[in-house]
Structure 1
């Protein structure tokens, strides 16, 4: 999904025109915002020894999705919101872009739940209670409550602090990957497809949320010095850099720990992987990096999502009360709704359920963007074959998640589709009302 406002600080931070290195920092920082800390254990649990391949498959899917964002971003150089692309593609069917906007907000809620769940899991591990669900839940609630308070008060982290967090977590993970790769026991990968070929693709489908974030680069198109050259390089480059880091970390995980050890520590798997590589210090270091990454992601996502909801309220796409702001122009009503729903999802859902929901939602939004690009191919100059191939790849990935859930947990897929249908019905019903009524 496309986080239109989450990266608003980029516009304030860089008064000078952005170059390639800044764009790559935006993309990599957005993707490694908590994803790898959350889904590594899930990937190994599903794909076994083939988990590193799952991350590479996801990289290819992300590149396919990135192609559509690149084309639309360079054609429509305004706000870059996914629902705006749908509005351009279907100007006479505003309910389509409205549904897309509502689904994006639903995705925000899922990712906030994912980040807070992960924060709680790594925090509980650092405190010495890795198996305590109660401690995890308390920490998840506290971190959401803290950043809700921060956002309501209008206290924003400085751009320098945000940049430090991004680069520190990338540095920690990169150094860990370099040190850990030398300790890998290649015999642990035999057989490589110990769970079969299909589980490797299933693992890729379920953990696709780890690549959510590269779209942030499209928000900076107006501030980019040479967008025609650097936007594509920034998006594709950040995806490949992130994919390489993910791949190396997955290799280290499978090559240093047993399947049972990784799956047992699913919620805080990366911290467990760090222990045989760097000892207790490594486990603590990765735990701190996870807390930094998820905290930053929660803060920026809550900031951006609330403002997107407020803007949709102002445009009549969502209820008018969501646009209400306090004296500091903070959209308190939108923040409150976002906080409550994210809190409930984080407390009631398991890590697997939250990841599956978030990945599927991200894919659905990307599919919508892909359809918009194909519909507007005469304007975006998209290659029809490449565009269709990317769309088909994402459709297959989405179908894989749905098929897996139908087989293993049909109740869960019913709940997820129930959410999508409910949101779609509300969006369409709300759009069908007279504008004056919608604005009340």
Structure 2
């Protein structure tokens, strides 16, 4: 277990902000285009189903988080539930950390895309990459500066972006050409055309937009009353995320032609607002998107760096990453920022995002299985846990099916990434075992 902080700076508002910051990033804007292309106006319903799957996944995280109270979160839960499988614990640690690094790079890249979208540099790749590197540097500095300061800034960014995105979405619904009756009529037609399989595939893809709620557990050493605040923060954040995603999707569908949403993807809401409400509407959407990606960067850097430090404490990453100053894992934070920067410079962020998506689903499934094993200790419902295992298994199968059918080259590249990370995990697990054997021999 990680070092215990003497001061508990993070209350419920800050914890909800960390979770929402990790969830409501660039993902919803990209997913909107994919969803509308597959199931049209049924998109809000698929988002709700995705939120239900996320809630089932969260159930096991909450139960394990309250039981173990370990900032290592996903990695620590697996390691403690299956103490005789150090290599697998190391593998999960590596997968999760690089999954977070991939989303960190995506959020920064999305931020820079919006930041220059209305300037003469909108098509300049290097300007885009430079701004992405700069925003990661800024929020890395904020996280290194102060836990409390980060929490307050996260509060302001998250709750402001929710207000902005909600206002613009509601205004789009009111000023769009589509009436509520026409929207529902089109939804009924799209529902008849869409197979249950397609709706479930979209729900599985949408599940990626809920990645980030588990960042709350990484802050367990710095939060007040974890027994109450872990479940309150995670479930509240998921409900709020579902609401904002449904409102965003309906705002887009009411005001923007489906073909424009599909074509423009993450820019659909901004371009649609510009057409309906003029420059002011587009500016407000861009501001909301910048806040969304900023808070996602900050929340991910905060939570994932603590998880990385906890894994390094066990010897599965370089020892230098364990160093903390005033409970802040500075080297782990810098490591994540540096690798995210490398990914931004290399490019191929769509591939990296898909890697993070698959990783999040599979790891959530493993957490549900681990929780079922010790359900008596965590005081978990067997029925809910089995439902979570079934839902996450189905979601994992469907997203892999979708990838293989539509982007098999990307799926092959993801497999290569997994092999490289597995090799790194194997090296450090063997190194760790040798250290333990050496210590035992000396004693």
Aligned match for 1:104, one of 79, 96, 111? 96
Q: Give the CA deviation at 1:434.
A: 5.0
Q: Give the CA deviation at 1:250.
A: 0.5
Structure 2 match to 1:357: 355
Aligned match for 2:133, one of 115, 136, 141? 141
CA distance in 2 between partners of 1:160 and 1:175 (Å): 23
Counterpart check, 1:28 vs 2:26: no
Structure 2 match to 1:121: 113
Counterpart check, 1:427 vs 2:425: yes
Structure 1 match to 2:231: 232
Aligned match for 2:389, one of 375, 391, 397? 391
- For 1:6-45, list aligned pairs within 5 A: 12-14=8-10, 18=11, 23-45=15-37
**CA RMSD of superposed structures (Å):** 3.4
Structure 2 match to 1:83: 75
Q: Choose 309-318 or 240-249, whichever is displaced more.
A: 309-318
Structure 2 match to 1:346: 344
Structure 2 match to 1:317: 316
Counterpart check, 1:74 vs 2:66: yes
| 1:142-166 residue CA offsets vs partner (Å, 9 max, x unmatched) | 4335545x36975775543222112
| 1:397-418 residue CA offsets vs partner (Å, 9 max, x unmatched) | 1111211111222221111122
Gaps of 5+ in 2: 439-443
Q: TM-score, normalised by structure 1?
A: 0.84
CA distance in 1 between partners of 2:116 and 2:412 (Å): 31
Q: Choose 317-326 or 211-220, whichever is displaced more.
A: 317-326
Structure 1 match to 2:441: none
Q: Choose 37-46 or 248-257, whichever is displaced more.
A: 37-46
Structure 2 match to 1:255: 254
CA distance in 2 between partners of 1:46 and 1:350 (Å): 23
Seen in structure 2, the aligned counterparts of structure 1 residues 295 and 389 have a Cα distance that, compared at 3 Å, is same
CA distance in 2 between partners of 1:235 and 1:328 (Å): 23
Counterpart check, 1:51 vs 2:47: no
2:21–2:298: 8 Å Cα contact kept in structure 1?
no
Gaps of 5+ in 1: none
Figure out how many residues of one structure are paired with residues of the other and give that number: 426
| 1:8-44 residue CA offsets vs partner (Å, 9 max, x unmatched) | 99x7534xxx45x665444334422443344333333
Seen in structure 2, the aligned counterparts of structure 1 residues 28 and 299 have a Cα distance that, compared at 3 Å, is closer
Seen in structure 2, the aligned counterparts of structure 1 residues 275 and 42 have a Cα distance that, compared at 3 Å, is same
Q: Choose 91-100 or 24-33, whichever is displaced more.
A: 24-33
Q: Choose 242-251 or 65-74, whichever is displaced more.
A: 65-74
CA distance in 2 between partners of 1:211 and 1:380 (Å): 23
CA distance in 1 between partners of 2:365 and 2:91 (Å): 13
Seen in structure 2, the aligned counterparts of structure 1 residues 256 and 231 have a Cα distance that, compared at 3 Å, is same
Counterpart check, 1:268 vs 2:270: no
Counterpart check, 1:288 vs 2:280: no
Q: Any idea what SS the aligned residue of 1:73 has? A: helix
Structure 2 match to 1:369: 367
CA distance in 2 between partners of 1:233 and 1:153 (Å): 27
Q: Any idea what SS the aligned residue of 2:69 has? A: coil
CA distance in 2 between partners of 1:351 and 1:192 (Å): 31
